[in-house]
Amino acid sequence: MMIKKLNYKLFLFFVFFVILSTNAQEGNSTVLKGKITDEKNAPLAGALVSAGNDEKTYSNQKGEFEISVKDSKSITVALDKYNSQQIAITDAETGIDVKMKLSEVFFEEKDKINLPFGQLEKGRIVGSVSNLNIEEHFSKDQRIGLNSAVSGKVGGVFGGSNVLGLGNAVYIIDGVPRSADYINLTEIEDVTILKDPVSRVLYGSAADKGVILITTKRGAIGKKNLTVRADYGVQKAVAKPNYLGAADYMTYYNQALLNDKRPVKYTDQQISDTRSGINPIFNPDVDYYSDEFVKDDVSYLDVNIEASGGNKQAQYFLTGGFSNNEGWLNKGTTEETNRYNIRANSNYKLSSKLKMNLDVVGVVNQYKSPNVFDINNLGATDDNNYSISSDFWTKAQTNLPNSFPLLIPIADITNPASYQGAYLVDGKYLLGGTKEFTRNIYGDLTNRGNKTATDRYFQVNSGLDWDLSAITKGLSVKGNVTFDFLNTSVETQNKSYAVYQPFTDPVTGIVSVTKIGADVPSNEKSVSTDEAYFSRRLGFYGTLDYDRTFGEHSIKATALTYLTEEQIPNAFQTLRSLNYGLRANYMFKNKYVVDFSGVYIGSKKLNQGDNFAFAPTGGLGWIISNESFFKKNKTDFLKLRGSVGLLQNDNWDNVFLYESSYSTGNNFNYNNGTVSNRELNINNIAAPIDWQKRLEFNFGFEGSFFNKSLYADASYFYSKGYDIVTVLTNATPDVLGYKYSANNNSFIDSGIEYTVKYTKALSKDVKIAAGLYSVFAVGTVDKVDEPNYGPNAQTRLRTGRNSGALFGLQADGLYGESDFNTDGTLVTGLPSVTFGSVQPGDIKYVDINKDGVIDVNDQKIIGNSRPSVQYSFDFNVSYKKFDFYVLGLGQDGQDRYRNSSYFWISGDAKYSEKVLDAYGPDNKNVNASMPRLSSTNNNNNYRSSTFWLYSSDYFTIPTMQISYNLVGKEKAFFNNIKFFVKGNNLIVINNENDDLRFGVGSSPITKGMSIGLISSF
């Protein structure tokens, strides 16, 4: 089946590929001659001259070159240690002279880094900024998800978006905060990570926890490009949850009842018949994770085409893509997600001084599935306030294997009249159920209809760039308007079905069924108003830019006005941001850099008069390698840098905290019931809320060594977030009847981060590139609203401790029989327990405060909820036309609890394989990995403690890829083709391998392989 799907999808792509290939037309070519010299008119040999994508040549010893130009409107000239040049040419031009200027490391045109509302050369940036070139990413790694470009490939970022451990950074896409769900790497030019205050402050409140700045692709003058990309892969579940079969469940549940001194529920005969498969309609045994319901593997297909180019008057970038992701469900309507995306970015030269850009983006995501979902409406019918209370995966996690048979063969029913007119599955089965279980997973998959959820995303950006050099050299003004719209609609089919419960007449022995519910076949569909969603965002930003050099003095300055407004369902008011900003970067003698950036932020969440705040930042840079006293030797470039700033934000949820608000409640009677009135409830008491603040320092260095073979940067960072708006739950006396909000909590994060990259050509045919990336961060609670703990509970204090600290009890194994007297009481010397009665097999805890009682005051720090270290490396080796790439990623310092229902098993819940290791008659080991089973909710055992704690440290290989590059010959219909094979998540190393690598109550965690190609024309 998998091979058929592969052949079908690859055939469709091949047809698509051939059609495009045959339409790649060759243009007329002319021969361009020229000479390349330096600033002293000395000829330069070995300069690379290229026209378009496929024409390349080198200058000879006299600096002369000759190149065939097809369609291209420009040539590019590049030579090591000189600034690269792109030179426009005309159709009639046949000769040209090129004068090259010596370059400075990190000051070339290619070294310009995208920053908020502008660019700066890498050499004059004083902040901690990392830039990721997506073309370089695709040269070795063909994953197209945004996270794959960041995670493990830059220092200072945990995962793909947690900058310096502060939390999830904001995504800024083409100048505006936007969701990263509707863009992939095929549309992106580069990604810039802003990790210090001076580099990100212009985004105001949104910049509080770091910025991931995304710049999309645009066309270039004279560079025609047509690229087709396809990637087909198969994913397998790393592991699936393993639950007990019906007979084992019944056996162990009986043991749980006996442990609680209660009578057993299942007879030995029932258990034996179930294990033997006797009379399965009365002794069912259902495996919800079998291949009848869950596929062994799923496939995906990504296809993308892009075209770009342009001339002096207009440039364009067009891309369209399709992706299909197969779902795991193996019955009913095919579960799949299809995505269609298109982007058109264009630039126009309206006059010699005025330019315009216009971008249009459209994305449609559509998820189709059998209607196995239950929706819990949390508010009004159409307020988008809902939760998904269950789906296939939650039911597979909770439905007992012996609750009821999914299918009842009518051959086993001796009273046919009892199912007269019933819907039959495959003409011979009834859907099983009971009065308690009126739904059946098999029925949900096949007879409840289907569900289609569609996201429609639309985006328009338009702007003008006006050169005002007529007023003064280096002056320009830009303005951009943006519009984003997202709509989600959910359509369900209105079908229902009956289930049947079998029973045997005790007198006659006749087997009949009782019908529960009704079969309602229908093709009608309805829109789920609860699940409908929309958002609309308008944005505007305008800048006044000044870029001028006066001898040894260079200044680049930007003045900013920035406004965004977003409307979403159930928002009490429109979400609006208003910033006025300034960035001024001054450099003297190419050695000393001073940067000031500040923003004046407006908020609708604060009282008039207090709703604007100024956030100042500043930084210094010293390019010490340009000093006369510095002996460069192997050093190409070395810069010391530092920045400091005070950021401010209004990133709390509630609005109007500065006003008191009330609501009416129930009626109450008084004066012997003759008079009634209504309660007046306090919703909020006015509080003098002020801006939340973040004080940051960032110091480090950046350098290039050994003729640009080695690059390194490292930083020390300190970030104190304080005056955080907090509901003072503990500090407000209960007698007041309400809770008070204030600027209270404070947290400190500090650490180091670094990036090291090395590239080297070992020979003509062999090149290597390697990188090391890491971040170490420690968070501390500086101030927090917490209870006033007594002397016996000081270990519970959070203030001054790790901000990711996990508090719990320290386990000392399990109670054994020797811990109890014959009457069931604990022996003398053991502390009493306040979590209910205990018996052998229950978890034993350490009396931390030595008061002779085990209670919540014995909690202490037992772990850390957040990793303190992430480290990674990547390595790429090229041999002739082959490339091999591998990425390794690990983390250290994080702990987690095994507290899902897979481990915390109580009552009559479904039993996982973990119960096989439980303390019991056949396993009285006090160091067993599971406590005794209980048919009730065991308050002693199922609470946070070291018993359930495990280290989530790991090392993994997220991706590994081998590729082959085929370069087209002259007059071939393609320029080059890259074939690749890649694997994802193939290797994971950790101490808890089996427990970590499957999803409980969700679709499986996957690993897989894919094949693909990229071709340019």
Model confidence over 946-965: pLDDT tens digits? 999 999 999 999 999 999 99
Tell me the Cα Rg of the chain.
Answer: 34
Q: 437 and 461 share a domain?
A: no
Q: Are 938 and 906 in contact (CB under 8 A)?
A: yes
Q: Give a three-class secondary structure readout of 134-165.
A: HHHHHCCCCCCCHHHHHCCCCCCEECCCEECC
**Domain contains 865:** no
Higher pLDDT, 389 or 808: 808
C-alpha span between 946 and 1014 (Å, rounded): 51
**Domain contains 326:** yes
Residue 806 predicted with pLDDT over 70: yes
Across 372-381, 649-658, 738-747, 803-812, which has the greatest mean pLDDT?
803-812
Dihedrals phi, psi of 978, to nearest 5 degrees = -110, 120
Note the pLDDT of residue 170: 96
Q: 437 and 519 share a domain?
A: yes
Q: 163 and 121 share a domain?
A: yes
Domain range for 40 is 30-99
Residue 67: CB atoms within 10 Å: 19
Q: 481 and 358 share a domain?
A: yes
Q: 497 and 482 share a domain?
A: no
Pull the structure tokens for residue 427.
Answer: 């003409």
E strands present in 589-709: 592-602, 612-623, 635-649, 661-670, 675-684, 692-705
How many CA atoms does the CB half-sphere of 290 hold within 13 Å? 10
E strands present in 610-660: 612-623, 635-649
Find where tokens 């066309």 sit: 219
Q: 412 and 511 share a domain?
A: yes
Residues with Cβ within 8 Å of 14's Cβ and at least 6 positions away in sequence, in order, are none
**Domain contains 131:** yes
Note the pLDDT of residue 6: 43
Can you tell me whether residue 818 is helix, strand or coil?
helix
Model confidence over 467-481: pLDDT tens digits? 999 999 999 999 999
C-alpha span between 734 and 719 (Å, rounded): 34
Share of the chain above pLDDT 70, in %: 94
Q: How confident is the model at residue 21 (pLDDT cuts 50, 70, 90)?
A: very low
Residue 164 predicted with pLDDT over 90: yes
Q: 324 and 419 share a domain?
A: no
Q: How confident is the model at residue 632 (pLDDT cuts 50, 70, 90)?
A: confident
**Domain contains 284:** yes
C-alpha span between 833 and 824 (Å, rounded): 13
C-alpha span between 88 and 367 (Å, rounded): 47
Q: 342 and 472 share a domain?
A: yes
Catalogue the long-range contacts made by 102-110 (C-beta closer than 8 Å, 24 or more residues apart): 102/38, 102/39, 104/590, 104/637, 105/636, 105/637, 105/704, 105/708, 106/637, 106/704, 107/590, 108/83, 108/84, 109/83, 109/84, 110/84
**Domain contains 355:** yes
Q: 279 and 422 share a domain?
A: yes
Residue 30 predicted with pLDDT over 80: no
Number of structural domains, the chain? 4
**Domain contains 124:** yes
Q: 426 and 522 share a domain?
A: yes
The conformation of residue 911, written as its DSSP 8-state character, comes to P
Poorest-pLDDT segment among 201-205, 529-533, 596-600, 955-959? 529-533
Alpha carbon dihedral 601, 605, 611, 614, in 10-degree steps, equals: -30
Q: How confident is the model at residue 380 (pLDDT cuts 50, 70, 90)?
A: low
Task: State which of 490, 512, 537 marks the end of a domain.
Answer: 490
Model confidence over 678-722: pLDDT tens digits? 888 888 888 899 999 999 999 999 999 998 999 999 999 999 999
**Domain contains 460:** yes
**Domain contains 125:** yes
Dihedrals phi, psi of 92, to nearest 5 degrees = -85, -10
Poorest-pLDDT segment among 303-307, 529-533, 968-972? 968-972
Can you tell me whether residue 793 is helix, strand or coil?
helix
Q: Are 105 and 637 in contact (CB under 8 A)?
A: yes
Residues written for the chain: 1017
Q: 399 and 504 share a domain?
A: yes
Task: State which of 439, 464, 490 marks the end of a domain.
Answer: 490
Q: Are 960 and 982 in contact (CB under 8 A)?
A: yes
Residues with Cβ within 8 Å of 712's Cβ and at least 6 positions away in sequence, in order, are 701, 702, 703, 705, 754, 755, 756, 757
Model confidence over 606-617: pLDDT tens digits? 988 889 999 999
Q: 322 and 188 share a domain?
A: no
What CATH number is given to the structural domain containing 67? 2.60.40.1120
Pull the structure tokens for residue 789.
Answer: 């703990």
pTM score: 0.90
